[in-house]
Amino acid sequence: MPVFTKDVDSAFQTAGTNPGLEVWCIENQRLVPVSKSSHGKFYTGSAYLVLNAVFPKIGPPQYDIHYWLGNDAKKVDSGLASDKALELDAALGSCSVQYREIQGQESQKFLSYFRPCFIPIEGVFTSKQGSLNGEYRVSLYTCKGDYVVHVKEVPFVRSSLNHEDVFILDTASKIFLFSGCNSTIQERAKALEVVQYIKENKHGGKCEVAAIEDGKFVGDSDVGEFWSLFGGYAPIPRDVPSVRESVAPSVKLFWINLQGKLCETESNAFSKEMLETDKCYMLDCDNEIFVWMGRQTLLTERRTATKAIEDFVRKEGRSNKTHLSFLSEGLESTNFRSYFTNWPKTVEPRLYEEGREKVAAIFKHQGYDVKELPEEDNEPSIDCSGTIKVWLVDGDELSLLSVTELIKLYSGDCYIVQYTFPGNGRDETLFYSWLGSRCVMEDKTAAISHMSTMADSARTNPVMAQIHEGKEPAQFFSILQRLIIFTGGNSSGYRKFIEESGMVDETYKENLVALFRVQGTTVENMQAIQVDQVSTSLNSSYCYILQDKTSIYTWIGSLSSARDHNLLDRMVELFNPKWLPVSVREGNEPDTFWDALGGKGEYPKGKEIQGFIDDPHLFAIKITRGDFKVKEIYNYTQDDLITEDVLLLDCQREIYVWTGLHSVVKSKQEALNLGLKFLEMDVLVEGLSLNIPIYVVTEGHEPPFFTHFFSWDHSKANIVGNSFERKLTLLKGKPKILEGHNRTPLKANSNSRDSTPNGHRSFSVFSNGRGRSPSPIPSSAGSDLRQSSDRRLSSPTLVVKKLFEGSPPHNSAEQTIPESDSPATELSSSNEPANFTQKDRNADGENLVVYPYERLRVVSANPVTGIDLTKREVYLSNEEFREKFGMPKSSFHKLPKWKQNKLKMSLDLF
């Protein structure tokens, strides 16, 4: 084991057992801890070491080490910082990723630690800071970035301003935000967070804030005051855009020998096998350089490699924008892996031999032994006492299942599940399309199409999800509470496929041999899954039900628990309360048991161990002219859900596609397709199955099983306008609540025809919370199934023939729903009262100032100010209004409010 310097050993004692951020500064060639209150205050004449430690609920700790070099830092301090980073990594068991950060070119991950902003300070750090007195110094900053912001102080002169960036002018009495006309709305919104930070930390929360628009120089006292600080107004010259040809970066791989010499590999195609575990390598990608250090390399070898790389960057004259990342074997980033062909899809997490005892101590500090990781918390984050309906998909037809049948699904079929549950002050709706493992493509496509139409038509703006058999989320089982999945199928598409392919129909029948695996964590989420009736389907970790022609057996695996045995008894009763099964323990099976399974054979007998699950990752999806780009947002918060964006939360076992109200995505089907495209990007989602659940969530309708991944604050109401207008409104303390998102509780109508067996009404809710409408398919009373008194299930036995407008007519003697009662009609028609004022109804805009459509749009590059942002449309001329909306203003104001808002959203006027 290497001997560490005292300061590094002391740093490990703190960092090795505490999750969170630790910061040290190099002072007198030693690591000096920086107090929490000074974490975001870095001096340009110093070098710093930053450690971010994350302790997942399941899995080993994760460490990121950054050494930050100020532009004025001494060369000896800069060299010492990289050396201390290597020592700290070795003390932590050589299981960290290290980054070099240069002032002004910091990585997104580094900046995310210091939200809302990171502002370097001129001078040198000293552990004995004195108080600073004197006249308040006026400062001018430029801000760049959509999710984390680069803040850079620039000279306080007019020539520092430009049309591309956002600037903050901080004076003793007022903070000015100047937005270049070519800056983005998100950059302006992020800059407001910096304004808030400066106001609270430098002014004690007591100063005025003014927003200045590029090009506006008359009629506003704030504008005049702003330009007077620069000696008066003068036009900002426009930069001539430089035309730069994009050149694909050349990628080279070098081996670093013990003397620090770089030896280039001859091959242009790289594979993981080229990286030997006792060597260090450099992958040169022009603006980014990776240093890969094998697990069996020594600390001295890593120091030599680090010095060689820094000398290489300096001698080559590389730009300060060149990022250096130091990766230990087994902790390679997705970006690094993307340069190698056929990199293994899964990497077994392991604890390194070097420093293993210390890392094991960290685990023990968290309350468990290295070999015995804790089980996951399976408590559902959703109210499971809601109303449930299930439809069988048969091409263009949907059949609503009765209460007794909705807990029985077939692997050859597809189903749509609608679940309505109490939310935050209103009822929420969730749609699932469940796709059996043996379903035909025709039914799969139809199920997703039907579900998307239902979800888009519903006024509640529900969440929808696509799930595959075998990859269901835990809450799906909690919603259904008990579930039996049979082999085979009942749809005409599945039966036709079986017939044409000449396959044996394996659809479950009570008089044939069948084997079921029983699983679940409680009686509130238990399942019985039919598996192949052969001995190799058994597993010592589970219990099974074997149904023979003459007998019923319950098989108890030797590694199963008392909880599993309880579920087994409950499931047998659910199958048939009159069954008297023969209980068989593993190792004591009678010959008749093996005969029913076609003979005794080998099966898994080891304890099943849950794999490590990484913490969720949040990605921003950018769609430009059909181009699909993904950018990770580090250390995300609720504030990163920006209304102009489409974001994707990757939880490894499921993903969520979140769409902002002002994003380019306008339908749930489109959002679902983005989720599928994301899963196809192997580099980003290494080891994930293409069949994991995909949820589609809309801004303002986030369900609890989504919000629990954030520190969610429901009091943060949806404010009118784009992200910049919303934050500016909050900063000035006069928020306007966005109509259609107030959460008011609803009362059931006891006289409704849409009642459930226990008398509770199943209803949907308008997005504005003011009205009620029936659920997509009317239901009638049916039999009960031993459900608890607060469990609400629908029980109609109708066969739905004409579900959507435009469906071809069917000549059938079966009962159908009249056209007026079809889901499309019910969900899109309005029964709510004309709940708007006479002033709204007659607001034709004749007496208001008229503005062009492009300036009134939420995403306008030159937005109008000083107008009622809730009624952008009234400022359009009559001619342009008719052109955009396809109707005169008088007709528009006769529409119900929810429909007005939907039209305005489609035109970026909401």
pLDDT tens per residue, range 702-753: 998 999 898 888 777 667 788 888 888 888 776 555 544 443 332 333 333 2
Number of H helices, E strands in the chain: 22, 36
Min mean pLDDT across 130-134, 143-147, 218-222, 281-285 is at 130-134
pLDDT tens per residue, range 515-547: 999 999 999 999 999 999 999 999 999 999 999
pLDDT tens per residue, range 715-727: 776 677 888 888 8
pLDDT value at residue 232: 85
pLDDT value at residue 738: 53
pLDDT value at residue 408: 96
Q: How far apart are CA 471 and CA 461, in angstroms?
A: 25
Above 90 in pLDDT, residue 842? Answer: no
Sort 546 into a burial class: Cβ within 10 Å, 0-12 / 13-18 / 19+. Answer: buried
Position 590, amino acid: P
pLDDT value at residue 438: 95
Q: Looking at 505-607, which runs of residues are DSSP E strands?
A: 514-519, 526-531, 543-547, 552-556, 582-585
Min mean pLDDT across 30-34, 137-141, 247-251 is at 247-251
pLDDT value at residue 545: 97
Above 70 in pLDDT, residue 332? Answer: yes
Q: What is the DSSP secondary structure assignment for residue 456, as one 8-state letter?
A: H
**Higher-pLDDT residue of 18, 389:** 389
Above 80 in pLDDT, residue 798? Answer: no
**Higher-pLDDT residue of 838, 876:** 876
pLDDT value at residue 242: 54
Q: How far apart are CA 630 and CA 680, in angstroms?
A: 12
Under a CB-based contact definition with an 8 Å cutoff, are residues 806 and 868 in contact?
Answer: no
> What average pLDDT does the chain have?
79
Confidence of residue 219 (pLDDT cuts 50, 70, 90): low
Global pTM value: 0.74
Above 60 in pLDDT, residue 574? Answer: yes
Q: How far apart are CA 403 and CA 385, in angstroms?
A: 15
Give kind and range of the element (H or E) at residue 574.
Answer: helix 562-575
Under a CB-based contact definition with an 8 Å cutoff, are residues 773 and 753 in contact?
Answer: no
**Higher-pLDDT residue of 70, 57:** 70
CA 868-872-878 angle, to 5 degrees, is 125
Mean pLDDT confidence for 289-317: 90
Hey, what are 510's tokens? Answer: 């009570």
Confidence of residue 835 (pLDDT cuts 50, 70, 90): very low
- Provide Rg for the chain, Cα atoms: 32
pLDDT tens per residue, range 649-673: 998 889 999 999 889 888 899 999 9
Above 60 in pLDDT, residue 684? Answer: no
In terms of Cα–Cα distance, which of 476, 503, 474, 505 is closest to 411? Answer: 505
**Higher-pLDDT residue of 903, 240:** 903
pLDDT value at residue 689: 72
In DSSP terms, 416 is beta-bridged to: 391, 433
In terms of Cα–Cα distance, which of 365, 356, 370 is closest to 92? Answer: 356
Secondary structure of residue 282 in the 3-state scheme: strand
Q: How far apart are CA 405 and CA 467, in angstroms?
A: 20
Above 70 in pLDDT, residue 23? Answer: yes
How would you write 510-528 as a 3-class SS string? CCCCEEEEEECCCCCCEEE
DSSP track, 832-864: S---S-HHHHT---TTSPP--HHHHSTT-SS--
Q: Phi-psi category of 129—alpha, beta or left, where left has phi over 0 and alpha has psi -120 to 50? A: beta
Hey, what are 473's tokens? Answer: 């989320």
In terms of Cα–Cα distance, which of 90, 89, 120, 88 is closest to 106? Answer: 120
pLDDT value at residue 94: 83
Mean pLDDT confidence for 442-464: 92
Min mean pLDDT across 13-27, 819-833, 873-887 is at 819-833
Mean pLDDT confidence for 421-441: 91
Sort 50 into a burial class: Cβ within 10 Å, 0-12 / 13-18 / 19+. Answer: buried
pLDDT value at residue 866: 77
pLDDT value at residue 345: 57
pLDDT tens per residue, range 352-378: 333 444 445 544 544 444 444 444 455
Cis amide bond preceding 796, omega within 30: no
**Higher-pLDDT residue of 760, 414:** 414
Position 420, amino acid: T
**Higher-pLDDT residue of 586, 893:** 586
Confidence of residue 484 (pLDDT cuts 50, 70, 90): very high
Above 50 in pLDDT, residue 768? Answer: no
pLDDT tens per residue, range 173-212: 999 999 999 999 999 999 999 999 999 888 988 889 999 9
Secondary structure of residue 184 in the 3-state scheme: coil
Mean pLDDT confidence for 300-328: 87
pLDDT value at residue 598: 93
pLDDT tens per residue, range 493-515: 999 999 999 998 989 988 889 99
Mean pLDDT confidence for 807-828: 34
pLDDT value at residue 448: 95
Under a CB-based contact definition with an 8 Å cutoff, are residues 373 and 60 in contact?
Answer: no
